[in-house]
Amino acid sequence: MPDSFSVLEFHERAVRTPSHEDVTEMRELLVETLREHGADPEVDDAGNVLASKGTGRPHYVLNTHIDTVPPHVEFSRDGDTVEGRGACDAKGPLAALLAAFFAGDADDGTVTLAVTPDEETDSTGAAALDLDADGFIVGEPTDLDACTSARGRFQGTVELAGEGAHAAEPETGANAVAAAEQALEAVRTYDASRGAAEHPELGPPTLTPTRIAGGDAANRVPDECAITFDRRTVPPETQTEFFDGFAAHVRDAVPEHVGVAVEPAERETPFLEAFDTPDDSAVVEALVDVGAGSPRPFGAATEASYFAADAPTVVFGPGVLADDDGPVAHAQREYVRRSDVERAAEIVTGALDALV
């Protein structure tokens, strides 16, 4: 990497730069840094920061995000440890990928840095990317392991429609809240009945009711009830397969006189689906050969889902989602080790040298 670029100095500046409410300042820091070190970045209409070096094939993409989640945690450093909002998710991975981007020559191919603005929310940046790549390295806190699979994440609502009536004569109506009993049973039994099979690395899918609401008066048979659910998927289940299958399963469980609709949560972009990259893919082997930990699943849904549909994708970076003391990413105690940020930069640099 250029002698003038310090991965640790950039990381500290990034952690000190808030990006939990608005990413503008953080994006400006990234663009400024790229320009200072000879790159010619652009910001596309979706807010992605893009920079490339080299020409031709193969083409590998380094991706991560600049947004973080509230509340902001103040920066601090104690020896090898940096604390602060975004320290590991994902400004540690960002610093490492940026260092690797600067370090590589890309003599025989192309390397693109693609940094998205809203991974923690709607992923409109990632959904807009169309990079025709041969492989992706997605920066997230993986404790320097090469993560080759991850669960997907869907959300939706079971909507039950009954008929209102006086509670003194409940038999004259159709109780939507009472029908929630059968709908919740359908949630519990879906996977055993017709859901996706257990994945060898990710385990079984999960389907969890998370909110319920219904009724508008204590003395009235309720004509509406809604159950919100969270679906964590495993390959090869797709969004269409799940919602169609689950809707049929709930319809079979709920009494006929109560209407049933299963509606996906509204969002501008596709849901993050599960993915699984073969361990013998070039990008996986390149990372492992230069020191990344053995392939394993990643514990959270990521924008890697969008890229894995097009090319082999690995999630990799310094930091952890949680440690023995509890949550780290998205938590008040978020931290990363400076030595791991440096090591991640070395590993990605070595992998790119082998790939391009």
**What's residue 97's pLDDT?**
98
Q: What is the pTM assigned to this prediction?
A: 0.90
Q: What is the CATH number of the domain that holds 166?
A: 3.30.70.360
Would residue 257 count as lying in a domain? Answer: yes
Q: What is the CATH number of the domain that holds 13?
A: 3.40.630.10
Q: Are both 144 and 164 inside the same structural domain?
A: no
Range of the domain at 182: 152-264
Q: Are both 183 and 254 inside the same structural domain?
A: yes
**What's residue 339's pLDDT?**
98
Q: Are both 99 and 207 inside the same structural domain?
A: no
Q: Are both 185 and 325 inside the same structural domain?
A: no
Q: Are both 168 and 20 inside the same structural domain?
A: no
Would residue 1 count as lying in a domain? Answer: no
Asked if 234 and 301 count as a contact pair (C-beta separation under 8 A), the reply is: no
Residue 185's pLDDT band (boundaries 50, 70, 90)?
very high
- pLDDT at position 105 over 90: no
More confident residue, 267 or 10: 10
Would residue 2 count as lying in a domain? Answer: no
Query: What's the mean pLDDT in 42-58?
Result: 96
Q: Are both 141 and 280 inside the same structural domain?
A: yes
How do residues 229-270 score in pLDDT, each as one tens digit? Answer: 999 999 999 999 999 999 999 999 999 999 999 999 999 999
Query: What's the mean pLDDT in 48-72?
Result: 94
* Domain-ending residue, one of 209, 238, 264: 264
How do residues 131-148 score in pLDDT, each as one tens digit? Answer: 999 999 999 999 999 999
**What's residue 3's pLDDT?**
55
Q: Are both 326 and 183 inside the same structural domain?
A: no
Q: Are both 168 and 86 inside the same structural domain?
A: no
**What's residue 158's pLDDT?**
98
Q: Are both 173 and 159 inside the same structural domain?
A: yes
Q: Are both 80 and 105 inside the same structural domain?
A: yes
More confident residue, 311 or 106: 311
Would residue 253 count as lying in a domain? Answer: yes
Q: What's the domain count of the chain?
A: 2
Query: What's the mean pLDDT in 297-321?
Result: 95
Q: Are both 129 and 47 inside the same structural domain?
A: yes
Would residue 269 count as lying in a domain? Answer: no
- pLDDT at position 2 over 80: no
**What's residue 305's pLDDT?**
94
- pLDDT at position 104 over 90: no
Q: Are both 243 and 166 inside the same structural domain?
A: yes
**What's residue 301's pLDDT?**
87
How do residues 141-176 score in pLDDT, each as one tens digit? Answer: 999 999 999 999 999 999 999 999 999 999 999 999
**Which residues face 83 on adjacent strands?**
76, 335
* Domain-ending residue, one of 239, 264, 289: 264
Would residue 326 count as lying in a domain? Answer: yes
* Domain-ending residue, one of 222, 242, 264: 264
Residue 1's pLDDT band (boundaries 50, 70, 90)?
very low
